[in-house]
Chain A
């Protein structure tokens, strides 16, 4: 480790490597790893306990599959039912390289598109594996009875998503996430009935228990009684989702939070690429101060909707009265090859640019049109209803406007976080026995995720990857029983209780939400769609000041021993206040633009993200620096042996 602080903000430590990916040709790595890992015989699996945090696509599919294998699985989630995890809200679809359309798709093409879409900041090994198992996911889901869209011949329908030129997205109207999650949820409930899985609803993980360097359990709070409980196991799986809510306004559900991941980070798990966040181009614009969340309009709408703004600045005419030659279909103009289906990061920045030019529409000029008039004329209204009916209904419900009559207004919003806990090829974090799956890990999407790839990754991790890799770790178990009075357990329980008392005891003047909103504004302004050195430095100072104020002046009413929703939120916001700073430091240190991370100092002449592969072709994995200590950066070099590193082009 270098002794000195870099920029006064962080230190650099030893580089790290993904040591589990076998050094064989790409296409043989996964099968080689599965064969090379130790197995656990069926009669020994029932002696092994696995804790799973979260029941989204990754957590529910992992819990169900590990239960089917015969392990003792205990599942915790803060919602009242496993079916409510935020995966339920994913709309558009799930990718798989089935090549059912005979349009040249293949495992290699899905791999290629995903690495390129991620702007060459993801691992080749992981992404190739993702593409390899993608077809199995569709098979599995169909067998579970997922009602995917079908053609009249009875076979599965496909559509296109951003950043690709094939149709490989499987969907169930605009409710694909819902249907996939219900399939995984039903598989999980089947294991509950079979006795292999125990579920604890309304329980939130507040600490990870690490004993002798291994993850051995969790401390959870029963959100109904307030009781602090200790649960011990042989391995812990985090499937606790992403951290978009650090921005307060995002498309995530209100409860989505970083706490499980952040607690693990503070216990020693490295946090990778925290600044890689995805701003989704098609969300309903903000309507007022009281706004609590932003609603996504699925990217699938870009298949048929055309995005435009008026050519002239400040044109406030009814959009239907603006003639064609006074409209700027700016994506079709600038990116003729991909048109409205460019990747999300590019579409978002393009929207910001035209709004910055004063050509935005709607209140405050923060919006662009997504217009279906041509699609309705071409396909007929019925066909549009069949494809997008529920999305149109949702839009009308929220805005009070009818998108069949007037164009939708959309604007970018934070949607997904590519960063997350660092994991190796086995999806194991830097704490042995702690595995991380789904959006909570960092591994597959690089600096930008392609549409319909989140569902693919969540289910790949949960159904097919983790159940094949966790055996290797568990084959050394069962590990020694940890007594409930073990110092590590006592310390974890005490720290949770102290924190709750501190939050309740402050009795200050400002509500939890007021802090959360202020943090969100800081993050959006300083660490949002466009980042600069000065802006990030200022953001860090603001976050530090806000964090001090939070602990001195937060007001949380009620008691610890009851359902207390303000207390739940307070703990989550406290962790966001630490994460936000690390995101800014990560964004500051990465002096290049890539994918969703756009540094104003690093752009091409026409304003596209300009990577710096010589200096930054690595994963930035951060180690917790302790209370006031600076975080330590560990670099994992990225090697591209199967894809040529080049500047992305969607023109």
Chain B
């Protein structure tokens, strides 16, 4: 098939970027979106033009490295990661616009590559259980009801790609933070630090410059890992509870 690409090219954080048009022919419907970009890059290299920089690694939808905005939607028309999007989702003759995640806390490094270091700092602020290696009790010492384990898993499936931020009109990271709050809060192991965790992670989220959540739901609509919107309700529940002095640890 034949397509027209409009791709955001930006040399580095200091220089302004612009959309550059590339005409493509002979695109196979079975190619992944990133393989289509690989072929473009091979052709650009052959012509002596610098290839398009984009983040990617596992190419099976789990590492969270890839992610671009395709025709205004984070990760494009299917609810999956960019690497798992295939060209069969597009039609012959389509014009496809490709841009990086747009959010102040995710500054552009080059072309489609952005800096998502803010997510790591939110985790460092409290997205863990404080247990040193070797200090763990026998795994079966604390049974966990299956429904709780399943709920924890559902939230823990977050791949940290940042699509939720890119999709949110406020550039809020609420779904990302709420996924970790919900995951750890659903398990007995997460209880001792539950109240402190939500406060410190939210403080960090604010400090990074992410916007507030106004319950729009664009985040969950694009989340390739299917993290449910209700995790944000859970976060708000935990936050309110943590502000009740008697509950605070």
**Residues of chain A having any CB pair with chain B under 8 Å:** 61, 64-65, 68, 79-84, 86, 88-89, 98, 100, 135-136, 138-145, 147-156, 172-173, 175, 178-179, 182, 185-187, 189-190, 192-193, 199, 201, 224, 253-255, 287-288, 290-293, 295-296, 394, 397-398, 400, 463-464, 467, 511, 513-514, 555, 557-558, 562-563, 565-566
Contacts and interface: CB of A to CB of B under 8 A. Distances in A.
B64 A83 contact: yes
B146 A150 contact: yes
Nearest to A150: B149
Contacts of B140: 100, 155-156
B30 interface: yes
Interface in B164-201: 183-184, 187, 189-190
A534 B159 CA distance: 46
A190 B130 contact: yes
B123 A79 contact: no
B231 to A, nearest CB: 14
Interface in B118-143: 119-120, 123-125, 127-140, 142-143
A64 B128 CA distance: 12
B116 interface: yes
A82 B30 contact: no
A140 B136 CA distance: 5
Contacts of A558: 50
A190 B197 CA distance: 12
24 contacts: A81-B120, A83-B64, A84-B63, A88-B62, A89-B62, A135-B139, A140-B133, A143-B135, A145-B152, A145-B183, A147-B150, A147-B156, A150-B149, A151-B146, A154-B145, A155-B140, A156-B139, A189-B127, A224-B109, A254-B56, A290-B39, A398-B84, A557-B45, A562-B11
Contacts, number: 213
B48 interface: yes
A241 to B, nearest CB: 12
A253 B142 CA distance: 36
B146 A80 contact: no
Contact of B123 (A145, A185, A287, A398): A185
Give the interface centre of B32, B45, B157, B183 by most chain A CB atoms within 10 Å: B45
A507 to B, nearest CB: 9
B45 A566 contact: yes
B172 to A, nearest CB: 19
Which of A135, A138, A150 is most buried by chain B, counting CB atoms within 10 A of its CB?
Answer: A150
A143 B123 contact: no
B117 interface: yes
A153 B157 CA distance: 23
A193 B179 CA distance: 20
Nearest to B180: A186
A285 to B, nearest CB: 12
A296 B152 CA distance: 25
A292 B124 contact: no
A12 B153 CA distance: 52
A429 B89 CA distance: 49
